[in-house]
DNA sequence: GCCGTTTTCGGCCCGACTGTTTTCAGTCG
């Protein structure tokens, strides 16, 4: 029998981080539903999140290694190891037998939590969202203790909401809505400050709800302004300090909606409120625990002496962190993934900022699938004040793009003319780089022969097909592409489409090694439906010695503005300008591309 | 269940809003 070299490298793969995290999360939820100790529940949730964001492969670790992960102690480590070895998680199986899967699904309904879901199951035998819907229609909830007509109504609305697809909103759609609301609220008489906070300020890739914070002595006119917006579909809650509504989102004609929370505070506690309202919840808990240990109390109203209740500070976030002995933590880092400890050790890195990006390294024109001409793209890039700009149209193997070597060479000539044409008008000229986006074939090869590739200033190589290869094949495919001396950057490495297509299955540790060894950068693609490489992988890649290119992959002039989402993603991955090749001056960039 | 320049035991963030309640539990962030 002929041996298959790929097959031989496959071992029985242990469960990956996400799978382990999923089991722990499920166990936490089932514990909560069955009324388990809330602190234990919180711990399992924390361990799940911690493993989900862990940069190594938790499935490869023994008990001692697992316990080094924050939130994982003796007991959870033992459960994970047992699960890896025997495939059995006894306590989880026991709870699964007590709580049908449908009951857990019921807790996803807004306004229906674990306690009521379990009550509905034990007292009425309701064990799915559909059964719950029927029970409400039959009026069976009314006689239940703790339920009434209003709760029936809220749960009914919640069921409609969960049945609608795509509950989380892309970051750019949420940002547009947030900007509009901030403009409306800011214009109200008496509004002293207004900005968005929450997951949007932290640059999460999708947004569950939009959090708006405002400062005013009298909250009523601000709340009224929000309620009067024509996009408001329904009011979830409305009080003196907080109003929650659902607002419609139009995405390419698709109906949708998102929850918006408006919180109004007095101006003098702005910093404390912004810190609180930005989250994440896990970060806030970690920070508040530090406050408690110092005999202080932190809330959205300020930092107080625990004993006397005297206010210490509340005006700015910086003062609050400083008073707790912490470095200021930039919002995108606030996920309780080690940043609080880093802040205590005064090791918060100087994150890359939008202003430090000197050029965009991935763009398309009408020569392939862009909708703006070369001249339009270049002039838009110049308007951004970039020091350099790369045009990287698709290569021939993406057949529908009908690229040829002749078209490519003609574009290069046009590009050189454009570049020389700008001399003499006084301003520092923007350097134009001629590049291409190659297609990584299933075997790892790319479109053009090496001598053709050598004519480009830069080559991106991306996976555009055969997404379902096995991990071993995919990993070998990437390594082969990295080893091509002409390939400088791997484009949108996981090839995921957020909410639509999962990323390819690749051994990330091996990919990072290959990139580091060959001097190949990984792209952080700024398209909101990509955000790829995802932020969760960035720290591991950087620790392996990988450099990154933050690019927009623009197919239109307006898309150049998407760079901020790529920068936000890089900030979530703790990256500094030194990690980002397009934050470097042209000379250093050229050296990297030539190496 | 985790964690510790106060602790290996005894804590574990904090507050707003709602609905069904005569004082509070549940949900949410």
Q: What is the pLDDT of residue A252?
A: 55
Same domain for A244 and A379: no
Q: Is there a contact between A373 and A367 (Cβ–Cβ < 8 Å)?
A: no
Same domain for A245 and A214: yes
Which residues from 170-189 of A have any strand B atom under 7 Å from their CB? none
Whole-number Å distance between alpha carbons of A488 and A475: 17
- Residue A258 domain flag: yes
Å between CA of A94 and C1' of B10: 29
Measured from the Cβ of residue A325, the count of other Cβ atoms closer than 10 Å reads 11
Tell me, what CATH number does A296's domain have?
Answer: 3.30.210.10
* CB proximity A200–strand B (7 Å threshold): no
Strand order across the A209-215 sheet? A193-196, A209-215, A254-265, A242-251, A232-238
Tell me, what CATH number does A421's domain have?
Answer: 3.20.20.140
Same domain for A126 and A217: no
Same domain for A247 and A302: no
SS3 of A58-85: the string is HHHCCHHHHCCCCCCCHHHHHHHHHHHH
* CB proximity A108–strand B (7 Å threshold): no
Q: How far is CA A476 from CA A508, A545, A565, in A?
A: 11, 19, 30
* CB proximity A211–strand B (7 Å threshold): yes
Q: What is the pLDDT of residue A111?
A: 86
Q: What is the pLDDT of residue A5?
A: 40
Tell me, what CATH number does A146's domain have?
Answer: 1.10.150.20
Same domain for A248 and A143: no
* CB proximity A292–strand B (7 Å threshold): yes
For the segment A180-237, what is each residue's pLDDT rounded down to a tens digit? 999 999 999 999 999 999 999 999 999 999 999 999 999 999 999 999 999 999 999 9
Q: Is there a contact between A439 and A399 (Cβ–Cβ < 8 Å)?
A: no
Q: Is there a contact between A147 and A111 (Cβ–Cβ < 8 Å)?
A: no
Q: What is the pLDDT of residue A10?
A: 33
Same domain for A289 and A203: no
Å between CA of A135 and C1' of B7: 51
Q: What is the pLDDT of residue A412?
A: 96
The answer to pTM > 0.75 is yes
Please identify, among A110, A139, A163, the residue that sits at the C-terminal boundary of a domain. A163
Q: Are strands A458-462 and A431-439 parallel, antiparallel or unpaired?
A: parallel
Q: What is the pLDDT of residue A165?
A: 57
- Residue A105 domain flag: yes
Q: What is the pLDDT of residue A212?
A: 97
The b/e string for A143-177 (b: 16+ C-beta within 10 A; e otherwise) is: ebeebeeebbeebbebbebeeeeebbbbbbbbbeb
Å between CA of A45 and C1' of B13: 16
Same domain for A468 and A411: yes
Burial level of A184, CB count in 10 A (0-12/13-18/19+)? middle
Dig out the tokens for A530 from the structure: 């990509």
Q: What is the pLDDT of residue A8?
A: 35
How many domains, chain A?
5
- Taking chain A (595 residues) in runs of 10, the rounded mean pLDDT of each run is 37 67 92 91 89 82 90 92 87 93 92 93 93 91 88 89 76 93 96 96 94 96 95 92 90 76 95 95 93 92 90 94 95 93 93 98 94 94 96 88 89 92 68 96 94 96 94 96 97 91 91 97 97 94 97 94 97 97 98 94
Å between CA of A20 and C1' of B10: 30
Please identify, among A214, A249, A265, the residue that sits at the C-terminal boundary of a domain. A265
Q: What residues make up the domain containing A114?
A: 101-163
Whole-number Å distance between alpha carbons of A558 and A305: 50
Same domain for A590 and A530: yes
Same domain for A545 and A571: yes
Tell me, what CATH number does A86's domain have?
Answer: 1.10.150.110
Dig out the tokens for A577 from the structure: 């300008």
A465 contacts: CB under 8 Å, gap ≥ 6 = A439, A442
Please identify, among A344, A379, A396, the residue that sits at the C-terminal boundary of a domain. A344
Tell me, what CATH number does A209's domain have?
Answer: 3.30.460.10
* CB proximity A265–strand B (7 Å threshold): no
Q: Is there a contact between A564 and A540 (Cβ–Cβ < 8 Å)?
A: no
- Residue A8 domain flag: no
Whole-number Å distance between alpha carbons of A409 and A328: 50
- Residue A4 domain flag: no
Same domain for A91 and A48: yes
For the segment A129-150, what is each residue's pLDDT rounded down to a tens digit? 999 999 999 888 988 888 988 8
Å between CA of A161 and C1' of B7: 47
* CB proximity A237–strand B (7 Å threshold): yes
- Residue A590 domain flag: yes
- Residue A88 domain flag: yes
* CB proximity A297–strand B (7 Å threshold): yes
Dihedral Cα A230, A233, A238, A241, nearest 10 deg: -60
Same domain for A246 and A106: no
- Residue A231 domain flag: yes
- Residue A11 domain flag: no
Which residues from 45-74 of A have any strand B atom under 7 Å from their CB? 47, 67, 70-74
Using the C1' atom of nucleotide B14, identify the protein residue whose alpha carbon is closest.
Answer: A299
Q: Where are the alpha helices (DSSP H) in A139-232?
A: 149-163, 171-186, 198-201, 220-227
Same domain for A556 and A475: yes
């Amino acid at each position: 029998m002929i041996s298959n070299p790929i097959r031989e490298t496959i071992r029985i793969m242990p469960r990956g981080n996400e799978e382990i995290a999923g089991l722990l999360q499920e166990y936490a939820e089932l514990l909560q539903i069955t009324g388990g100790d809330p602190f234990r529940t919180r711990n399992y949730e924390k361990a799940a999140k911690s493993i989900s964001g862990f940069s190594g492969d938790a499935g490869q670790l023994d008990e001692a290694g697992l316990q080094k992960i924050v939130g994982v102690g003796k007991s959870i480590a033992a459960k994970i190891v047992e699960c890896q070895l025997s495939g059995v998680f006894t306590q989880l199986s026991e709870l699964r037998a007590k709580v049908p899967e449908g009951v857990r699904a019921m807790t996803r309904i807004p306004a229906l939590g674990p306690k009521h879901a379990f009550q509905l199951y034990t007292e009425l035998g309701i064990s799915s969202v559909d059964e719950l819907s029927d029970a409400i229609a039959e009026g069976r909830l009314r006689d239940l203790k703790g339920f009434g007509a209003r709760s029936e109504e809220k749960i009914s609305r919640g069921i409609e909401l969960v049945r609608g697809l795509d509950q989380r909103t892309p970051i750019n759609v949420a940002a547009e809505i947030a900007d509009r609301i901030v403009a409306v609220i800011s214009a109200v008489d008496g509004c002293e400050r207004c900005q968005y906070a929450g997951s949007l300020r932290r640059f999460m890739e999708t947004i569950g709800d939009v959090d708006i914070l405002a400062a005013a002595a009298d909250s009523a006119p601000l709340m009224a302004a929000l309620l009067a917006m024509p996009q408001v579909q329904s009011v979830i809650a409305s009080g003196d300090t907080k109003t929650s509504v659902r607002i419609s989102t139009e995405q390419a004609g698709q109906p949708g909606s998102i929850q918006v929370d408006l919180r109004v505070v007095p101006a003098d506690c702005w910093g404390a409120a912004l810190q609180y309202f930005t989250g994440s919840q896990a970060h806030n808990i970690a920070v508040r625990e530090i406050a408690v240990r110092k005999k202080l109390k932190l809330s959205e109203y300020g930092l107080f002496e625990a004993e006397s209740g005297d206010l210490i500070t509340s005006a700015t976030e910086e003062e609050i962190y400083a008073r707790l002995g912490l470095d200021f933590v930039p919002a995108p880092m606030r996920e309780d993934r080690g940043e609080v400890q880093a802040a205590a050790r005064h090791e918060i890195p100087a994150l890359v900022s939008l202003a430090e990006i000197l050029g965009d390294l991935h763009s398309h024109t009408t020569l392939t699938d862009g909708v703006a001409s070369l001249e339009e793209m270049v002039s838009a890039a110049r308007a951004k004040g970039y020091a350099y700009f790369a045009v990287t149209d698709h290569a021939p193997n993406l057949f529908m793009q009908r690229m040829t070597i002749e078209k490519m060479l003609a574009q290069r000539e046009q590009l050189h003319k454009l570049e020389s044409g700008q001399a003499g008008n006084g301003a520092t000229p923007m350097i134009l780089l001629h590049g291409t986006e190659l297609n990584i074939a299933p075997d790892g090869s790319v479109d053009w022969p090496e001598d053709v590739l050598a004519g480009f200033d830069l080559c991106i190589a991306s996976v555009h097909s055969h997404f379902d290869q096995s991990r071993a094949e995919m990993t070998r495919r990437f390594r082969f592409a990295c080893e091509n001396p002409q390939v400088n950057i791997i484009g949108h490495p996981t090839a995921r489409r957020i909410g639509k297509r999962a990323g390819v299955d690749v051994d990330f540790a091996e990919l990072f090694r290959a990139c580091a060894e060959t001097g190949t950068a990984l792209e952080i693609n700024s398209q909101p439906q990509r955000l790829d490489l995802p932020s969760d992988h960035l720290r591991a890649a950087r620790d392996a010695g990988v450099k990154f290119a933050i690019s927009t992959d623009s197919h239109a002039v307006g898309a150049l503005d998407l760079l901020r989402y790529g920068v936000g993603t890089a900030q979530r991955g703790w990256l500094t300008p030194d990690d980002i090749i397009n934050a470097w001056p042209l000379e250093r960039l050229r050296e990297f591309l030539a190496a």
